[in-house]
Amino acid sequence: MNAPQGNLALRTLAMPADTNLSGDIFGGWIMSQMDMAGGLAAKNLSNSRVSTVSVESMTFLNPVKVGDVVCCYADIIRVGNTSMRIKVEVWVLSHPFKSDERQKVTEDLS
């Protein structure tokens, strides 16, 4: 897939404080960004308080580097009476001032 699925829900910059011992962005930080993106999408749709109950699966595809622009896309898969299923993908712009080329780094299904 060469393009993100869903709507842009969150966009932020990966900073040095968010790195692990290898110098890559810590996976837990990426997961927290994904949780915020999914929560924002759910809140916008429900116009109510929401919380993440579970994450079914998550796959890290590529590392995120300091200075990457992290873009979280949320795609609402299913809406029930008291729950929603939302797919969140993370894509990065590694050289935001030189190119619009995005690279997918992870996805989950909540």
Q: Which amino acid is at 82?
A: T
Kindly state whether residue 1 falls inside one of the protein's structural domains: no
Cα distances (Å, whole numbers) of residue 87 to 62, 64, 97, 99: 18, 19, 28, 26
Q: CB of 104 within 8 A of CB of 84?
A: no
The CATH number assigned to the domain holding 54 equals: 3.10.129.10
Q: Which amino acid is at 45?
A: L
Kindly state whether residue 90 falls inside one of the protein's structural domains: yes
The pLDDT score that the predictor gives to residue 72 is 97
Question: In the predicted model, is pLDDT for residue 43 greater than 70?
Answer: yes
The pLDDT score that the predictor gives to residue 15 is 96
Q: Please state the pTM of the whole predicted model.
A: 0.89
Q: CB of 7 within 8 A of CB of 74?
A: yes
96: DSSP letter: T
pLDDT, tens digit, for every residue of 68-104? 999 999 999 999 999 999 999 999 998 766 667 789 9
- Residue 4's SS3 state is coil
74: DSSP letter: E
Kindly state whether residue 14 falls inside one of the protein's structural domains: yes
Number of domains in the chain: 1
21: domain range?
7-109
Kindly state whether residue 2 falls inside one of the protein's structural domains: no
